[in-house]
Amino acid sequence: MEKKKLSTKQQSPKPNRKAYIYTSLTLTAVIALVLLLVFYSPAQKAAQQVPVAAASSLAPAEEKPALLDYGIGGGTGVNAMRFQHEKSFPMLKKDKLNAPPQSTKTVFVKQLSDTQMSQPFHIPEGYGFVKIWVKNAGKQRMAISLSKDSPTGELIPDSIISIQGGSIWSIYKTTPWESGNYYVNFTSEGAPLKGVAVGRVGARLAELNP
């Protein structure tokens, strides 16, 4: 009987599929980690170089004036601020300096001119309420605002308005003011300002009606 010849050729082992998958995943993770370190470091360095004050140096957006277009007798208000479209303008004279103390008094009577101007007024102790009448005798709109201590000082909340030409408006608060120095600011939205403004202070709001 013939003996079967033994094959001297060794059979190659079957590829290990799981080991191949694990190797591929490990290699992919290593590459991703290297790329992350390469790109993250410059970005982090650049972010650290941005000055801290850069974000805070941005000026806040200016508040736009509320456009008042109500008919005579109409009005509006935001919180304690009130704006009334008046039929007539109270031409009030300044009180005499030596006059005896009264519960109300005029703090300014001012003719309006130029394209921008500010009128200071003082609220003494015991006079917690203010009423301002503005007559816009021009044809263009007029922007009005109230500020404390200076024309560019702290704005009185909800006080920025724009009134149409040929109208008369009163401006006041239903709550008491703090004593101190204030300004009413006027800005023309076209030709130079034209008109007049009057301001009065009082111990009670009802006493300020003309």
Whether 196 contacts 186, CB under 8 Å: no
The Cα 99–Cα 106 span in angstroms is 12
For the chain, the C-alpha Rg in angstroms (whole number) is 38
Q: Please give the average per-residue pLDDT across 195-206, as a whole number.
A: 94
Residue 181 makes CB contacts below 8 A (sequence gap 6+) with 120, 121, 122, 123, 148, 149
The whole-model pTM stands at 0.67
**What's the pLDDT at 8?**
45
**Secondary structure E strands in 87-179:** 104-112, 116-123, 129-136, 142-148, 154-155, 161-163, 167-173
pLDDT at 191 over 50: yes
Number of Cβ within 10 Å of residue 174's Cβ equals: 11
Q: Please give the average per-residue pLDDT across 56-66, as a whole number.
A: 53
Q: Which amino acid is at 173?
A: K
pLDDT at 42 over 80: no
Q: What angle do CA 140, 158, 138 make, to 5 degrees?
A: 15
**Secondary structure E strands in the chain:** 66-68, 75-78, 81-86, 104-112, 116-123, 129-136, 142-148, 154-155, 161-163, 167-173, 180-188, 195-202
Whether 204 contacts 120, CB under 8 Å: no
The Cα 121–Cα 151 span in angstroms is 11
pLDDT single digits (tens) 106-132: 999 999 999 999 999 999 999 999 999
**What's the pLDDT at 55?**
31
